[in-house]
Structure 1
Amino acid sequence: MPVSWRYCTSPMVAWGIGGEGSFAPEHAGFPLGEDHGGATYFMMEMHYDNPNLRQGIVDNSGLRIFYTEKLRPNDAGILMLGHGVSPLYIIPPGQHWLSIGQCSGECLSKHLPESGLQVFAGILHAHLLGRNMTLRHIRDKKEQPIIIRDLNYDFNFQETRNFAEELTLLPNDYLITECGLDSTGRDGPSFVSIQ
C-alpha cells in the first residue's frame, strides 16, 4: 500500500453487517475533487470475519456510490465517537461491563464551525460482546434528548438510522458514548486486537 494511503482516514461511507445502505438527504453531499476541497481518490477498506476458517468463500458484495455534478448546498461528513481502541483495553470474563467514551466541548470546538453542524443519521457499532449502546448529548450542563440508543444491540444488524428530524451539535456540547458489554459467557479475558 502506498505510504500516502495511510493518511486516508476520513470515512465517506460506512457499512456494518446487516445494514441495507444509506443515502444523504438531498441538501447534503460529500464534495469530490480538488476544486471543491474533496477527495481525489477513494480507498476501500473491508474487514472479513471467518472464525471457522471455511475454505472457498467468494465475496460478491459491492458498493455503489452515486455522483452528481450538481453541487449540493451542504457538505456532509462522518463524525466518529466512542472510546479509543488499545491493546491495553481488556474486558474481564463473567461480567456486565460498561465502557464510556467522552467528547468534550474542548474537543468538539476544534472540529466544528461556530454555527455547529446538523446531524441527520447515526450508526452504532460494537463487536460481539456489545449488548447496548447510547449516545448522550449535554449542552450547558443539561442533558438533551438522547441522540441514538439501542438497548438490544445485535452485531448482525448494524443499520444506519436516519433521524426523523436533524439535530444541531454546537462546538461547546458534550457527547457521551456508553457501550454495555456482556462477557458472562467467557472464561477468560477478552482482548482488543489492533492490526
Structure 2
Amino acid sequence: MNSTLRLAAVLLLLVPACGGTETDLGSESAALPCDVESVLAASCRQCHGASPKFGAPAPLVTRGDLLAPAVSDPSKRMIDLVTARIHDERRPMPPTGLLSEAELAILDGWAAAGTPAGSSKCEATGEGGGGGGGGGGGPPKVHCTPDLTLEPAAPYVMPKDVADEYVCYGVTARLDQKRHVTALVPRIDNSTILHHALLYKTEEAWPAEPAPCAGSDIAFLNGQLLAVWSPGGQALELPPEAGLPIEGDTHFVVQMHYSNLRSLDGQQDSSGYDLCTTEDLRPNDAATVPFGASRFEIPAHGALDMTCDYKIPEGAGSFNVIAAMPHMHELGTHISSTILPSGSGEPVDLGRVDPWNFDNQVWYTIDATFKEGDTVRTRCAWENPGSTDVIWGERTNDEMCYSFVMYYPPITLGSWSWPIPGLTSLCAPTP
C-alpha cells in the first residue's frame, strides 16, 4: 500500500462512527460518505456552512450542494471547483493552506468514483472548525478589557446587485492625555458578507457614515496600517514593553471588504475594532514601517520576481520587532522579508508566505531586532494573466509589495518618515 492510501486508511479509522438507515445511493439528498463528511466539516465549513459566511458563494453541507452548478461557473459543478481549488497552491482552499495527503486522497477518490452517496448518516457533523476572529469560535481572546470601540455611525447596507465592495468609515477619539493601545481586537458583526477588514490611523478625520472608498483615499491621508483581519484571524496584542501611542484627536479609518456573490438582499454590517488602551504608559512607543517597494510594473501575460533592499540609516539606533504582516494583492505568488545584519550574525526571518494567498492575511508574532546599518531584504513575485500591465497601487486590481513591521521605539531621524523604505529601497530581479 502506498503512503497516500495508507494515510487515507488511517484517517478512515478516525472519522465518526456511522449509524442509521440506508439511503438511496443515487439521490442528491442522500448522505455524504462519512470520510468526505469529516474532511468538509473540519476544513471547509468555517465559511461554507449551511449559512455560508465571509462571502463564500455556496454551502458545502449536502451531497446536493456539491453536485449543484457552481455560482462562478454554472457549466461546472461545485465538486469540480472544490477538487481544483484543494490542489491550487496559489489560491488554496482552505485559505490557510492545502489539505493533508490523506484528506486530498479522500476528496479526490470520492470525485473520481462518481460522488457516490454514503450508505448511512454520520454522527457529529456540522459547520466545522471555528477559529478566532469571527470564524465561529467567538471573539479573539486578549489579556485586557477593551475600552475604545471603533464602529460606524450607522450600519452599511450592502446593495443586492453589488458582488464586491470596499467601504470605509472614520472614528475620532478625543483624548485629554496620551494613552497606549495595547491590543486590537476585530469585532465581526455580519459574517455572511464580510470578507476582511483593515484598520488605519490617519492624519485627518474621515466621515463617520460608511461609504464606498478606495485605498488611494486612505493613502492621501497618510494612513498607517495598524491591524488587519481575515476569516480565522486573531487579535493583535502588544508585549508589555510597548504600546501604540494615541493622543489628542486621534483619527482612525476602518476599511471593510464585502463580498455578496449570492446577491443577498437586506444585508447590513457594523463590524469594527475594539481597542484596549491604558493611561499607564508603557516604556516604549510602538510604530509600524512598510518594507518593500512602491515602484514596479508587472507585464501583461507575464511575471515579475524582484528583491528589494532597504538599509537602516546611520544614526537611527536599534529596534525591537513585535510583529510582521506580509501584504500583496491578488496576483502575488510569493513574499518574504529578512533582516541581514551589517556585521556578524545570521539573517533573521520577518515572515514568508509561499504561496501567497490574498484571502489569508494575518499578523505574525516576531521576536527580533534590527539596527542602523542592517539591511531589510524583501522579495515579491507575481503572475499576471491579464491583458494589461499592473503597477503599484491601493486598489485591489493594482498590486503591492510590503512587509508591515511593528517595532519599538520609533525611528525619530528628522529626515525619515513612514513611507520612505518603500520609496527608496533598491530593487532588482531576483537571481
* TM-score range normalised by the length of the shorter chain: 0.7 to 0.9
Query: Which residue does 1:42 correspond to in 2?
Result: 251
Find the aligned partners of 1:144 and 1:63 in 2 and give their Cα distance.
Answer: 35
Find the aligned partners of 1:101 and 1:59 in 2 and give their Cα distance.
Answer: 39
Query: Which residue does 1:78 correspond to in 2?
Result: 288
Q: Which runs of 5+ in 1 are unaligned?
A: 34-38
Check conservation: 1:16, 1:125, Cα contact below 8 A: no
Find the aligned partners of 1:50 and 1:189 in 2 and give their Cα distance.
Answer: 26
Q: How does 1:77-156 map to 2 (within 5 A)?
A: 77-85=287-295, 89-106=296-313, 109=314, 112=316, 114=317, 116-140=318-342, 144-156=347-359
TM-score, normalised to structure 1, is 0.74
Q: What is the percentage of aligned positions where both structures have the same residue?
A: 20
Q: Which has the higher helix share?
A: 2
Shift of 1:154: 0.7
Q: Which runs of 5+ in 2 are unaligned?
A: 1-169, 171-202, 206-219, 396-431
Check conservation: 1:118, 1:169, Cα contact below 8 A: yes
Select the residue among 191, 200, 222 that pairs with 1:9. 222
- Cα gap change, 1:102 to 1:139, in 2 (>3 Å): same
Task: Using CA pairs under 8 Å that are at least 6 residues apart, name the structure with larger relative contact order, 1 or 2.
Answer: 1
- Cα gap change, 1:9 to 1:191, in 2 (>3 Å): closer
1:174 matched to 2:375 = yes
SS in 1 for 2:237: coil
The structure 1 segments of at least 4 consecutive aligned residues displaced by more than 2 Å after TM superposition are 6-12, 16-21, 47-52, 54-60, 93-96, 99-102, 140-143, 185-195
Select the residue among 26, 49, 64 that pairs with 2:240. 26
Query: Which residue does 1:36 correspond to in 2?
Result: none
Check conservation: 1:15, 1:21, Cα contact below 8 A: no
Q: How many residue pairs get matched? A: 177
Find the aligned partners of 1:179 and 1:144 in 2 and give their Cα distance.
Answer: 18
Find the aligned partners of 2:382 and 2:266 in 1 and give their Cα distance.
Answer: 33
Check conservation: 1:99, 1:181, Cα contact below 8 A: no
Pick the structure with greater CA Rg. 2
TM-score, normalised to structure 2, is 0.36
Cα RMSD between the aligned structures? 3.1
Q: Which has the higher strand share?
A: 2
SS in 1 for 2:377: strand
CA-to-aligned-CA distance 1:103-145 (integer Å, 9 cap, x gap): 1233xx46x3x2x110021001100001111102222266613
- Cα gap change, 1:105 to 1:29, in 2 (>3 Å): closer
Query: Which residue does 2:39 correspond to in 1?
Result: none
Check conservation: 2:341, 2:370, Cα contact below 8 A: no
